[in-house]
Amino acid sequence: MNLTRASSLLLCILAICLAVGVVVHAQAPAAAPAAAAAPPVPAADAQLAAAAAKAPTTADLAKGDPGGTITGTINDVPAADSTKGVTLPDVANQVGQNKIAANFIWTLVTGFLVMFMQAGFAMVESGLCRVKNANHTYMMNFMVYACGLFSYWIMGFAIQMGGAAGNGNLGGLNSLTGEHTLSILGKTWGIFGAAGFFLSGHTYDVGVMVIFLFEMVFMDTALTIVTGACAERWKFLAFCVSSSIMGAITYPIYGNWAWGGGWLSQLGTNNQLGKGYCDFAGSGVVHAVGGITALAVCFIIGPRIGKFNRDGSSNPIIGHDISAVLIGCFILAFGWFGFNPGSTLGASAAGNLRIGTIAVDTMLAGCTGTFGALIYMWMKNGKVDASMCGNGLLAGLVAITAPSGFVSTVGACIIGLVAGVLVCLSCWFVENVMKVDDPVGAISVHGTNGLWGVLSVGLLADGTSNYGGAWNGVTGSVTGLFYGDASQLAAQLVGISTLIGFVFTLSFLINLVVEFFVGHRVSIETEVAGLDLPEMGQLGYPEFVFRPEPDYIMQANKEAMAA
Amino acid sequence: MNLTRASSLLLCILAICLAVGVVVHAQAPAAAPAAAAAPPVPAADAQLAAAAAKAPTTADLAKGDPGGTITGTINDVPAADSTKGVTLPDVANQVGQNKIAANFIWTLVTGFLVMFMQAGFAMVESGLCRVKNANHTYMMNFMVYACGLFSYWIMGFAIQMGGAAGNGNLGGLNSLTGEHTLSILGKTWGIFGAAGFFLSGHTYDVGVMVIFLFEMVFMDTALTIVTGACAERWKFLAFCVSSSIMGAITYPIYGNWAWGGGWLSQLGTNNQLGKGYCDFAGSGVVHAVGGITALAVCFIIGPRIGKFNRDGSSNPIIGHDISAVLIGCFILAFGWFGFNPGSTLGASAAGNLRIGTIAVDTMLAGCTGTFGALIYMWMKNGKVDASMCGNGLLAGLVAITAPSGFVSTVGACIIGLVAGVLVCLSCWFVENVMKVDDPVGAISVHGTNGLWGVLSVGLLADGTSNYGGAWNGVTGSVTGLFYGDASQLAAQLVGISTLIGFVFTLSFLINLVVEFFVGHRVSIETEVAGLDLPEMGQLGYPEFVFRPEPDYIMQANKEAMAA
Amino acid sequence: MNLTRASSLLLCILAICLAVGVVVHAQAPAAAPAAAAAPPVPAADAQLAAAAAKAPTTADLAKGDPGGTITGTINDVPAADSTKGVTLPDVANQVGQNKIAANFIWTLVTGFLVMFMQAGFAMVESGLCRVKNANHTYMMNFMVYACGLFSYWIMGFAIQMGGAAGNGNLGGLNSLTGEHTLSILGKTWGIFGAAGFFLSGHTYDVGVMVIFLFEMVFMDTALTIVTGACAERWKFLAFCVSSSIMGAITYPIYGNWAWGGGWLSQLGTNNQLGKGYCDFAGSGVVHAVGGITALAVCFIIGPRIGKFNRDGSSNPIIGHDISAVLIGCFILAFGWFGFNPGSTLGASAAGNLRIGTIAVDTMLAGCTGTFGALIYMWMKNGKVDASMCGNGLLAGLVAITAPSGFVSTVGACIIGLVAGVLVCLSCWFVENVMKVDDPVGAISVHGTNGLWGVLSVGLLADGTSNYGGAWNGVTGSVTGLFYGDASQLAAQLVGISTLIGFVFTLSFLINLVVEFFVGHRVSIETEVAGLDLPEMGQLGYPEFVFRPEPDYIMQANKEAMAA
């Protein structure tokens, strides 16, 4: 009966609508007269005027163009002076506009994809944690976006990119002219930028906004790596403070040195080390910085209760949701198509059409990384290990990030395969030799393989890329040891040394200060109960029923509470 | 053993493949002759012919172009007459084609992102509901896409955009010439459009299709807001009917007034109120319309059993899946990069390069919205509240939607911060003062903050934007009260009054009719049992074990069943 | 107290930062002189030089351009010879570059969306399986990406696209010149390609990389269809081997015939059958090949224990997570905006602007497919069926894939509606008549509706599309029976016969070989226990508590173990 009434109601509405449609007739507008060409024009403009006269009229277009054959012609080139019609300079200006528009589209869309990686990280990290900390782990991954963005807007961006003027892809970025330099032994070295605080003043600029968005999402990727390694025991307030400082200072400084015109990028022009430190999309800048900071905080915060036994041996602590882990990996692999190919910062300019190669290199390295981990674990344990396969994919993607712009597809496969095995070995090493508790393997995935990615540029860059004919101001194509340029490897090793020496130290010191003022670790009671209720006030899945934790965890909890 | 067999199989296949590869040789095609220029050409064409003669030949290209240095030249400009080679008009036509192509790409890709927000809404809304209604809530969010799309295709689009001819970004949209107008006091006011029913006739046009897709996904966003506020008690059939009518009538009418050439957009040209009602991406058109309709249906449908006690006090009813809520928020924030920046409807044209600023404004407002809610709830309760942080993010995004095209990044931060606090206050107000039960906070997130977003344009638009030099037909840049134009605020207030007065009334009346014919509310038995089995025939997670509901819900259920 | 310390720390940092900002001043660079034009230039270059002289200077740009009014001009057109300034050939070259860049952007971004569909398939398929096989089902969907990609890179791509030279959208793809042909009755027919093994040699090319990425993600879509139909009983190793062979051989061969210059595409030029076999985005190439292969493997692997009773009647086996199913459907619908509109392989070229129509057709067919299944099941069972609604959406999307480039929106609605009903009927037929156990309905969704999609081109293509004026080398627009060209239907029927006759046979034989060497089916013990622990070593959700399986499954398990 209700169905009848609903149907009759729907029918009435449809009838009314159709009636409305029939009554109403669209009024066709009068055809716009073709632009009249002024008599004494140069030859080029006469040709354009003739073309405009032959172009489809508004009346033609009002009849609809289902095949797309009369849309997108000289009609759509705006004339600066409508009385003259379209002139050659109008055409040239529109060509420049089209180029910048294509590059903005590319950089923004790929930047959006990178931002979406936050969801992937949240799923991978939380899926690998226990259910009693699910809400907390998801929330750290959620808040890291806001914390990082805000501090990067205040000052991080200015430090990193404040001296990055000159990018022709995005219209010049001419207001970013604030790089501070030091003069050492007659050479000038960039240290940090200082233009773009709050994106105000001259940096309120359409091009600067595009580069800000793209660099910001890269920075947030680095920050979110730390939340995985410190999960299940990191106090929420400490996490907020630590992440904000990392986004404001630690990350931007190294980012400036590599990408913002700083001294690492000048190793080529100043010291003839290849094309300077080359890190196409940030195996070092993003992933190694994230992984190394994760290691520093892990040293301070210590392992989870129950992870290590008194004799130093370790227990497995299994994640609660493999579906989240694997879907998160897919989201990350999807976002990586923004991460690497987007790092050209444009599509339309000499050499930028290599974006397709970069994307294929990225997918292939992820593929061989997956195989590396799959086969290694299968041979070791006789069974497939889903979590390690996911980490193998990510390791391959991390490793290809720096070289993706410079290597062939065969090179990419090699880099990924090494990464897939390396992540398994590194996870074992971190847990069993270093005795560091990294619930999600972030140190191995991002730290170890970030360094491997930086190194691989110095080995496998094949000298075929061309991004306007120079890189870091040095003419020629980036070329690694196996293709004849050992000095490039040297530049990469300087970068790696800086990551291990400087970035680790800085991160460690900063987080020691945070330890003093805020304290990184939750109380034992909170950790045993799970962080969700004490810190977040709510469970992740309040209506579901769960099993008790394994005995060795229960026992360790009891001992910790008693201590 | 099986492994051995598999390996040998694989090896055989590889061997065969390699053999095939070796046997086969690629045949290099003969080089295409350079286009011969006809003798008596004007100077411009002679230059182009000379350039074409020097361009890479097909034989060059067949050797592969790993660096992208010889791909994308004059070779790729098609000649209308291949015997003449590329002429200047060919170049100009291709420039127009490139412009339209870039704008189509931008509008479509951002439209796709907005469509993906449906998944985000589904996750946020369902995650905030109880597990016994999970399937039903997911299904409402799933079906709203189909219901809305179908009724919008039939007539909603024609009503909203049927008079929207003239958009140069998308080639003119010259077949949308059906705006119906009323003449009042010598001024002409648009009331509704009437071209594009079923996208047939003259509106079977490549440009119209692009705008249809973009406007359709916006409309569906508005519809899905209502499903959240009415979740856990809305009869599936009633939801289908109500949503279809909203997509066919309620939404399109207000959409026409604001965006389709209707009277609100004419407040500037007709009444000198700023640049007319300005709602860049739809804080009002999409979010406030959705939130206000949600309120109207909530009034009719009433609160869930157990939400309010006899004394009027309210009980918390906690969502079942915080991971879905937070991942859904990320999906929404990702999709919002389509929502706001895509609302330029193009990238390549005067002023459209502001897309980067719009994207950064969007992310910053979301960020400060998150902080607003985080800090407010942390101060109030002493604990972080994950659900409210998510709502704070969304509130910031909703609020920045209208002003995103007109404000600086500092303005965006202010708008978002206000929104983050406002959503907390509004949720409290709706629940405790209005006694309306809104399970997901949709009325506060989208309604309250939609109105705040519309208002904020009138306050904080900074007068730096330029979209072809005019907005709504009024020359100049949109400028708010704080930057000197009080009349803009007046136009915004007219829009807000229309939303509260007209849209609420219309929605309420329409849904009263639906109440009469279909009935909005499920039976008490269905609600107590959970809607999944009675309405959908299946549970959301049939194999999982759940806890019993809290006592106050059990008690209220018992009383309701007895009544 | 800790809060106080944290706040003070933050304040200190902010103060330092602000101080840094104040101390540092950005140095404005000197204005670059306008390019001087060499004296005796042709008229066109003089006009361009004059325009360049009037363009914004670097000093202007360094003041920031918030409105985007001075970015994107003749300034951004690079001059080949900087002493001459911008010349007309420079403009023409940049126009070609912009065109290729726009097409690369479109093809890559839509390709990324298609890749993301892997996540959607993983969620739909796993959600429809039981919780005891969740990890295994997710992992098959995860590994299929790597297995397919690797074998496609080795040889699949070369076989499929090795003879595809000539695509003007992507710069010509001139190195893909390896199609092998047979001469029959005086006509030449393409059989398979052979250029692009390992993407090395001449195929290390920017354009080839773009087409590789796009074709690769299509291939992986076909592979993942099989994992659904064979879920809950497919041995992981067998799955890896079978999928790799499918990506290397089965899929590429049919792909070559339809898209790579093979004989099906030549039915028009050779035999005057319409425009040859037309499959715009792969209802046949991707979905029918996937669905038919799924059927072949299902015949070999047999039904799950407990699915069929001794009398041949079947039992329902319900999926464990409806949220994953519906969110997965949204991801798939989102990715389909890459699948279909991306299949133009470009946006900027004659006829390609139809991308908007293709996208709208896609969404409408999905919508009516949903309605078809919704209404059919509602009428049949009196209740909404969420899983079948999801399958209805997918069926509509599958069916519109082949015709999406050639039909109107009304045509799309009809195709989708038929598909939505057809998938319900087909599921019933496969289960109850063919007695094939397909846990997710993949055979019906992709196989049956893939064939329907191929057929519908021959019926409903309306002759309005124009992709450069020809299709498969035959001048004119693709036109179906209802619009006057019966011969097109004949070409489609040849394709359908090839799918059923050749592809099924080849798939069946290949998988028989795999059965012999590896064995497709897990042991009874493994299947009864669930594949997660025996095959993957870990449960999907190790901390959650689950209900026992239904009695008829328990009973069947017991009988199987006893047998």
**Average predicted confidence (pLDDT) for chain C:** 92
CA dist C66 and C73 (Å) reads 15
From chain C, the residues in CB contact with B110 under 8 A are none
Q: Do B6 and C197 touch (CB under 8 A)?
A: no
From chain A, the residues in CB contact with B44 under 8 A are 43-44, 47, 88
| Interface predicted TM-score (ipTM) | 0.93
Interface test with B, best of A104, A360, A374 (most B CBs within 10 A): A104
Interface test with A, best of B241, B327, B462, B523 (most A CBs within 10 A): B327
Query: For residue C11, with 0-12 CB atoms within 10 Å meaning exposed, 13-18 middle and 19 or more buried, which class applies?
Result: exposed
Say what the pLDDT of residue B43 is. 82
Residue of B nearest to C106 (CA): B105
Per-residue confidence band for C6, with pLDDT thresholds at 50, 70 and 90: low
Say what the pLDDT of residue C2 is. 53
* Cβ atoms within 10 Å of B41's Cβ, excluding its own: 18
CA dist A416 and B245 (Å) reads 53
Per-residue confidence band for C25, with pLDDT thresholds at 50, 70 and 90: very low
Closest residue by Cα to residue B325 from B124, B116, B122, B119: B124
Subunits with 3+ C-beta pairs closer than 8 A to A? B, C
Say what the pLDDT of residue C563 is. 82
Given A105, A245, A360, which is nearest C213 (Cβ)? Answer: A360
Per-residue confidence band for C141, with pLDDT thresholds at 50, 70 and 90: very high
Q: Do B72 and C389 touch (CB under 8 A)?
A: no
Say what the pLDDT of residue C455 is. 98
State the sign of the Cα–Cα–Cα–Cα dihedral A318, A322, A324, A327. positive
Percent of chain A residues past pLDDT 70, beyond the cut: 93
Say what the pLDDT of residue B34 is. 41
Q: What are the pLDDT digits (tens) for B234-268?
A: 999 999 999 999 999 999 999 999 999 999 999 99
From chain A, the residues in CB contact with C137 under 8 A are none
Q: What are the pLDDT digits (tens) for C94-131?
A: 999 999 999 999 999 999 999 999 999 999 999 999 99
Q: Do C91 and A89 touch (CB under 8 A)?
A: no
CA dist C265 and C80 (Å) reads 42
**Given a cut of 70, is residue C30 above it in pLDDT?**
no
Q: Do C104 and A356 touch (CB under 8 A)?
A: yes
Say what the pLDDT of residue C29 is. 37
C186: closest CA of chain A, how far (Å): 35
Say what the pLDDT of residue A7 is. 54
Say what the pLDDT of residue C11 is. 52
Contact A72, C99 (CB under 8 A): no
Quickly list DSSP for C331-356.
HHHHHHHHHTGGGGS-SSSTTGGGHH
Say what the pLDDT of residue B487 is. 96
Q: What are the pLDDT digits (tens) for B343-386?
A: 999 999 889 999 999 999 999 999 999 999 999 999 999 889 99
Across-strand partners of B180?
B192
Contact B164, B177 (CB under 8 A): no
CA dist A72 and A50 (Å) reads 17
Say what the pLDDT of residue B178 is. 85
| Residue for token pair 């105000």 | A200
CA dist B27 and A59 (Å) reads 49
Say what the pLDDT of residue A41 is. 53
Contact B531, B132 (CB under 8 A): yes
Across-strand partners of B521?
B234
Question: Helix C504-517 and helix C289-301: axis angle, to 10°?
Answer: 40
| Residue for token pair 């092998």 | C180
| Residue for token pair 């890179």 | C153
Given B46, B91, B98, which is nearest C102 (Cβ)? Answer: B98
* CA trace torsion A537, A540, A544, A549 (10° rounding): -90
Q: Do A178 and C352 touch (CB under 8 A)?
A: no
Low-confidence ranges of chain A (pLDDT < 50): 1, 8, 12, 15-40
Say what the pLDDT of residue C233 is. 97
* Cβ atoms within 10 Å of C303's Cβ, excluding its own: 17
**Given a cut of 90, is residue B220 above it in pLDDT?**
yes
Q: Do C68 and B354 touch (CB under 8 A)?
A: yes
From chain A, the residues in CB contact with B387 under 8 A are 538
Say what the pLDDT of residue B42 is. 73
CA dist C209 and B437 (Å) reads 54
Say what the pLDDT of residue B7 is. 54
Quickly list DSSP for A503-553.
IHHHHHHHHHHHHHHT-SBPPHHHHHH-SIIIIISS-SSTTB-BPPPPHHH
Q: Do B74 and C92 touch (CB under 8 A)?
A: yes
B95: closest CA of chain A, how far (Å): 6
Question: How far out from the chain centre does Cα A525 lie?
Answer: 37
Subunits with 3+ C-beta pairs closer than 8 A to B? A, C
Subunits with 3+ C-beta pairs closer than 8 A to C? A, B
Q: Do A357 and C408 touch (CB under 8 A)?
A: no
| Residue for token pair 């405790």 | B432
Q: Do A139 and B168 touch (CB under 8 A)?
A: no
Q: What are the pLDDT digits (tens) for C238-263?
A: 999 999 999 999 999 999 999 999 99
Q: What are the pLDDT digits (tens) for B269-312?
A: 999 999 999 999 999 999 999 999 999 999 999 999 999 999 99
Given C64, C105, C138, which is nearest A202 (Cβ)? Answer: C64
Q: Do C409 and B150 touch (CB under 8 A)?
A: no
In B310-408, which residue ranges form alpha helices assigned H by DSSP?
322-339, 355-381, 386-401
Interface test with B, best of C63, C73, C357 (most B CBs within 10 A): C357
CA dist A472 and A478 (Å) reads 10
From chain A, the residues in CB contact with B357 under 8 A are 204, 206, 209
CA dist B229 and B220 (Å) reads 15
Q: Do A543 and B545 touch (CB under 8 A)?
A: no
From chain B, the residues in CB contact with C203 under 8 A are 64
C399: closest CA of chain A, how far (Å): 21
Q: Do B51 and C92 touch (CB under 8 A)?
A: yes
Residue of C nearest to A73 (CA): C350
CA dist C180 and B62 (Å) reads 17
Helix (H) or strand (E) holding A59: helix A58-62
Q: How many CB pairs under 8 A join A and C?
A: 365
More confident: B14 or B547: B547
